[in-house]
Chains A and B, each alone.
Chain A
Amino acid sequence: MRRWALGAAAAGLLAWPWVAPRYLIFLASLVLVNAVVAIGLNLLSGYTNQLSFGHAGFLAIGAYAAALLTIHAPTVPVIVTLAAAGAVTAAVGLGFGVPCLRLGGLYLSMATLAFGFVVSEVILSLDGLTLGADGLRVPAGRLAGFTLATDTARYYLTAAVAAALVAAAVNLTRSRVGRAFLAIRESEVAAQASGVSLAAYKTAAFGVSAFYTGVAGGLFAFVVGFLSPDAFDVFLSVDFVVMIILGGLGSVPGSIAGAAVVTVLHDWLAAFQNFRPLIFGAILIACMLFMPGGMAHALRPPGRR
């Protein structure tokens, strides 16, 4: 059953560019990018209960790192660029996560919100490097002699990276580390009493989450092709939080589903520019009132809740 579902998903992912119109290929890439961010955020918020309102900042760091690397070293293979973007973002995440160990709940959320603002501001003020508010055009990435210049090529890159990261996340959550994360979420005191080092695992969660978001940022840079600081505002961070809450905290498939629903919804409602937040807000409230726990919880058979 599981194997069939996985096979069908893989076949669907591979066949998509042949059956879908060009715009939907782009949209699918965007869904996959957001799914990677949502998984990264969920590893932090859903698994260790540290809600972050600053992931647009991590995404921006990854995106700008990948873009700048591609501009200044065009021959570097795209996979290396993405790994570098992830590594840079993870380093920033660890640097930010260590002092944040002292903060709990609300205070941590505020600090991450502040982090997001600071990142936009830094991008604006480093305009010699990032071109500030004018925005940065991202050249196509290169892989094994090919230039990834079409929507289809970028889609396959995104799909391959996203699939690898999803598999890694699923494995991580089933490992000793994943169980330690969950123990921290359920009760910090009980986890500590059972020998889980709070400081080590919470920092690790920050690093892994930032790595995922940084890689997603690199993919975002290639898929969208143009970066400007106002694309990474606080509302994007809120969107990411909505994705994981809608999908289900502490669930990898839920993160993917939440990312897909939010991304497609944003796109559908684009024609109703002025009504979009109104409808989006109403859907959000309805989901919270009638489907708390998110889609992952609502779809699970009753016995396994």
Chain B
Amino acid sequence: MSAAAVVHVVVSGLATGSIYALMALALVIIYNATRTLNFAQGEMLMVSTFVAWAAQRAWQLPLPVTLLVAAAAGAGVALVFERAIIRRSIAATHWDVLIITVGLSLMLRAAAGLIWTHEDFAFPSFFGNRPMVVGPIRLAPVSLGIIGGSLLLMLGLYVLFTHTRIGRAMRAVAQNQRAARLMGISVERMYSLSWVLAGVVGAIAGVLVAPVTFLSTKMGLVVINGFTAAVIGGFGSMPGAVAGGMLLGVIENLAPLYLPSGIRYSVPFLVLIAILLIRPAGLFGRVEQRKV
């Protein structure tokens, strides 16, 4: 295996990993604010990408507008869910809310299948197909585009969470709800906002990845890799989610080069189990204090 080929595989691994990282970030944003796990995140990504695709085909929209449509669709779906269903179950246990989101994901997937069928569709790409040649290394522009786009989005999230009033309010809610409420923050609004933010992040990830993986109702399964990434990084930690996603993507792409193909798809899960055994709270997670 030449070094150039390894670089190529690592870069495409980072591209896959960026999508996992965005998925993990979306899950962590909702988890931090509401302490619930959104199993429907993958299906939200799938539906918003489908909506953008349908709008693009109907009105011949330019791609940047398509991206905006996807983001708006992601925000809309998330807002409707949070307001109509999740908020009603605010007194329920975390497992109950998890089951509700499982129900939501089943419904979204079935509805998308009824509207757009369960086939694969090509999605237009921002980036060309000609590989970029740097010395002996050949890189796919799509991979670089996905990495760049994701990094921009992550930077945006970083600025939002550290340098804006709203971001600080969301972090306050994540840390201590009662204290946040006493400081005049509307906790309910932050719940909605975290869902909307996660919906937008997921939608952008969907538009970035759809040209590579094709658009289909199966896209939503990426949520499982998102979970894995978030858990590897330590659930609740945003840098952890990014690191976990990138690590997972690279390992998943490198593993087939060195291991028999039979266990290829188990690799991420074996990595997950291995990391959890060494660090039960993930790479960046803190072990929660047990209180009586």
A interface residues with partner B (beta carbon < 8 Å): 51, 99, 102-104, 106-107, 110-111, 113-115, 117-118, 121-122, 124-125, 187-190, 234, 238, 241-242, 245, 249, 274-278, 280-285, 288-289, 292
B interface residues with partner A (beta carbon < 8 Å): 37, 85, 88-89, 92-93, 95-97, 99-100, 102-107, 109-111, 113-114, 224, 227-228, 231, 235, 260, 262-263, 265-266, 268-270, 272-273, 276-277, 280-282, 288, 290-292
Contacts of B290 in A (CB 8 A): 188-189
Contacts of B106 in A (CB 8 A): 277-278, 280-281, 284
Q: How far is the CA of A278 from the CA of B217 in the complex (A)?
A: 14
Pair A124/B262 contact, Cβ less than 8 Å: yes
Pair A284/B103 contact, Cβ less than 8 Å: yes
Given known A-B contacts A102-B277, A288-B89, A289-B89, A281 and B107 have beta carbons under 8 A apart: yes
Contacts of B110 in A (CB 8 A): 274-278, 281
CB-contact partner of B92 in A103, A121, A125, A292, under 8 A: A292
Q: How far is the CA of A187 from the CA of B92 in the complex (A)?
A: 18
Pair A114/B107 contact, Cβ less than 8 Å: no
Pair A285/B282 contact, Cβ less than 8 Å: no
CB distance from A305 to the nearest CB of B (A): 16
Contacts of B109 in A (CB 8 A): 277
Q: How far is the CA of A124 from the CA of B263 in the complex (A)?
A: 9
Contacts of A276 in B (CB 8 A): 110
CB-contact partner of B95 in A51, A102, A234, A283, under 8 A: A51
CB distance from A44 to the nearest CB of B (A): 13
Pair B100/A288 contact, Cβ less than 8 Å: yes
CB-contact partner of B235 in A107, A187, A284, under 8 A: A107
Knowing that A241-B99, A278-B107, A283-B103 touch, tell me 6 more A-B residue pairs with CB under 8 angstroms: A107-B276, A107-B281, A110-B231, A114-B270, A117-B269, A245-B99
Pair B272/A121 contact, Cβ less than 8 Å: no
Given known A-B contacts A125-B262, A238-B102, A288-B92, A278 and B111 have beta carbons under 8 A apart: yes
Q: How far is the CA of A283 from the CA of B110 in the complex (A)?
A: 14
Q: How far is the CA of A238 from the CA of B228 in the complex (A)?
A: 17
A selection of 23 A-B contacts at a CB cut-off of 8 Å is: A99-B273, A102-B280, A107-B276, A115-B273, A117-B266, A118-B266, A118-B270, A121-B262, A124-B262, A188-B290, A190-B292, A245-B95, A277-B107, A282-B103, A283-B103, A284-B99, A284-B102, A284-B103, A285-B100, A288-B92, A288-B96, A288-B97, A289-B88
Contacts of B276 in A (CB 8 A): 102-103, 107, 110-111
- Of A110, A124, A275, A283, which is in contact with the most chain B CB atoms at under 10 Å from its CB? A110
Pair B95/A113 contact, Cβ less than 8 Å: no
Contacts of B92 in A (CB 8 A): 288, 292
Q: How far is the CA of A189 from the CA of B282 in the complex (A)?
A: 23
Q: How far is the CA of A118 from the CA of B114 in the complex (A)?
A: 31
Given known A-B contacts A114-B228, A188-B290, A289-B85, A107 and B104 have beta carbons under 8 A apart: no
Contacts of A285 in B (CB 8 A): 85, 100, 103-104, 107
CB-contact partner of A281 in B103, B113, B273, under 8 A: B103
Contacts of A282 in B (CB 8 A): 103, 107
Q: How far is the CA of A296 from the CA of B100 in the complex (A)?
A: 19
Pair B105/A281 contact, Cβ less than 8 Å: yes
Pair B113/A274 contact, Cβ less than 8 Å: yes
Nearest to B234 among chain A residues (CB) is: A107
CB distance from A283 to the nearest CB of B (A): 8
Given known A-B contacts A276-B110, A285-B85, A121 and B103 have beta carbons under 8 A apart: no
Contacts of A284 in B (CB 8 A): 99-100, 102-103, 106
Contacts of B277 in A (CB 8 A): 99, 102
Pair B100/A289 contact, Cβ less than 8 Å: yes
Q: How far is the CA of A276 from the CA of B113 in the complex (A)?
A: 11
